[in-house]
């Protein structure tokens, strides 16, 4: 079989075997509807409750603060739209200019309805500091939303400080933590976060499932009206198998988090060492606080698209920017936000290593890249 090396873990990850195995009984045998009152519904109902306990435990939340959704996009849409519509006295939203499109386009939608949205421009290194937030926030701000970790450059934002600044002005704080959950330690209660979005397929769980953390006591209008599922905030029969798989994957990742981080960081160092040893000239985008294994590399005067396709021909999957943007050949809004020179931006690729990658993978990736860019 032709070799295949997967190095696009920020786009999606491989389903953990443990998660897959945890899912199958809920598809084949225990297929009852968890909302029904009879005995056959008891097991799926308990599985949903157990999944909330597991997920909450992994992020320092209480189980009743976890709401199942179809993934990061839905969680983001829910917060941005429901928050804006919640309070006629406080209508404004502030986000960073390098958010994922799930946030950007939700904000464009509320903007078209007349709700004010401000876009914060980050520092050159790609950070939103509390000082930057202070320039935008007003008494009319209801929600501040800044992603935990950026999907293109990996920067981890100072969430605790941003949360404090938002609260000082009476605003709520949301973070799109789709790239961070299961990869770095997060304790929502300690950080003071009001809302957090997560998606299972980014932490080795199944696709099409995720959750929204809503801090107890914080009001948010329902996302979908209908049945009484999710405390009547997100109607629709639950996907029990996917939810169980998500909880199993998150637990597995959180149990081994530091170990995985170390392994991925070692691979990252090896990759950069190989490039440096071969005298490759590149710029690594982003600042010092980054997700392990996410490398945004720019090669002056090169074409990122062309690098991606040549790597693909060699059986290696990488990305130019975010997966959601792969059809859009314009310079990504993230690279624009960090004011990367156009000559560098056009030659940018994203390599995102995961826990399943090996040293051999990295040796092959480095050799391929050296062959293409030198």
Site membership for ligand PLP, residue 9 (CB under 6 A): no
- The residue from 102, 104, 133, 271 that contacts ligand PLP (CB under 6 A) is 102
- The residue from 178, 244, 247, 267 that contacts ligand PLP (CB under 6 A) is 178
127 DSSP assignment: -
Site membership for ligand PLP, residue 324 (CB under 6 A): yes
- The residue from 176, 230, 268, 325 that contacts ligand PLP (CB under 6 A) is 176
The pair of structure tokens assigned to 294 is 């996410």
Report the nearest approach of ligand PLP to the CB of residue 180 (Å). Answer: 9
- The residue from 13, 26, 72, 373 that contacts ligand PLP (CB under 6 A) is 72
- The residue from 83, 151, 239, 298 that contacts ligand PLP (CB under 6 A) is 151
Report the nearest approach of ligand PLP to the CB of residue 163 (Å). Answer: 18
Site membership for ligand PLP, residue 71 (CB under 6 A): yes
How open is the CA angle 331-336-340, to the nearest 5 degrees? 95
Site membership for ligand PLP, residue 321 (CB under 6 A): no
Report the nearest approach of ligand PLP to the CB of residue 295 (Å). Answer: 16
CA distance 92 to 252: 39
Site membership for ligand PLP, residue 179 (CB under 6 A): yes
CA distance 338 to 335: 5
Site membership for ligand PLP, residue 100 (CB under 6 A): yes
DSSP sequence for 152-212: TT-BBP-HHHHHHHHHHTT-EEEEE-TTTTTTS---HHHHT-SEEEEEGGGTTS-TT-EEE
Residue 141 vs 179, nearer CB to ligand PLP: 179
- The residue from 323, 331, 364, 370 that contacts ligand PLP (CB under 6 A) is 323
How open is the CA angle 155-66-31, to the nearest 5 degrees? 120
Report the nearest approach of ligand PLP to the CB of residue 75 (Å). Answer: 8
What 3-state DSSP class applies to 241? Answer: helix
Residues annotated as part of the active site: 324
The pair of structure tokens assigned to 288 is 């010092």
Residue 12 vs 35, nearer CB to ligand PLP: 12
346 DSSP assignment: T
Instruction: Select from 348, 262, 271 the least CA-distant residue to 305.
Output: 348
CA distance 128 to 364: 36
Interface residue list for ligand PLP (CB under 6 A): 71-73, 76, 100, 102, 147, 151, 176, 178-179, 199, 210, 322-324
């Amino acid at each position: 079989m032709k070799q295949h090396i997967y190095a696009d873990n920020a786009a999606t990850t491989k389903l953990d075997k443990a998660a897959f195995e945890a899912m199958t009984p809920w598809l084949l045998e225990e297929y009852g509807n968890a909302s029904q009152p009879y005995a056959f519904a008891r097991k799926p109902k308990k599985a949903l409750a157990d999944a909330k306990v597991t997920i909450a435990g992994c992020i320092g939340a209480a189980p009743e603060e976890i709401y199942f959704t179809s993934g990061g996009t839905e969680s983001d849409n829910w917060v941005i739209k429901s928050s804006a519509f919640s309070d006629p006295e406080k209508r404004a939203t502030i986000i960073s200019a390098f958010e994922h499109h799930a946030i950007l386009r939700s904000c464009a939608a509320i903007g078209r309805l007349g709700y004010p949205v401000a876009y914060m421009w980050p520092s050159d290194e790609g950070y939103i500091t509390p000082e930057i937030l202070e320039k935008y926030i007003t008494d009319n701000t209801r929600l501040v939303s800044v992603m935990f970790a950026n999907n293109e450059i990996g920067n981890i934002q100072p969430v605790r400080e941003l949360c404090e600044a938002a609260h000082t002005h009476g605003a709520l704080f949301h973070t799109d933590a789709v790239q961070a959950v299961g990869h770095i330690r997060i304790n929502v209660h300690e950080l003071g976060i009001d809302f957090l979005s997560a998606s299972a397929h980014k932490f080795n769980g199944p696709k099409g499932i995720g959750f929204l953390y809503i801090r107890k006591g914080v009001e948010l209008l329902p996302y979908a009206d209908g049945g009484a599922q999710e405390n009547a905030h997100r109607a629709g029969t639950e996907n029990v198998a996917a939810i169980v798989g998500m909880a199993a994957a998150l637990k597995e990742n959180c149990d081994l988090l530091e170990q995985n981080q170390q392994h991925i960081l070692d691979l990252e160092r090896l990759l950069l060492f190989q490039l440096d040893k071969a005298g490759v000239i590149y710029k690594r985008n982003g600042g010092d606080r980054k997700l392990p294994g996410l490398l945004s590399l720019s090669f002056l005067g090169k074409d990122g698209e062309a690098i991606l396709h040549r790597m693909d021909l060699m059986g290696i999957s990488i990305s130019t920017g975010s997966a959601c943007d792969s059809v859009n050949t314009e310079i990504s809004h993230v690279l624009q936000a960090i004011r990367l020179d156009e000559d560098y931006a056009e030659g940018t690729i994203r390599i995102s290593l995961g826990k399943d990658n090996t040293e051999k993978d990295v040796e092959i990736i480095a050799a391929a890249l050296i062959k293409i860019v030198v």
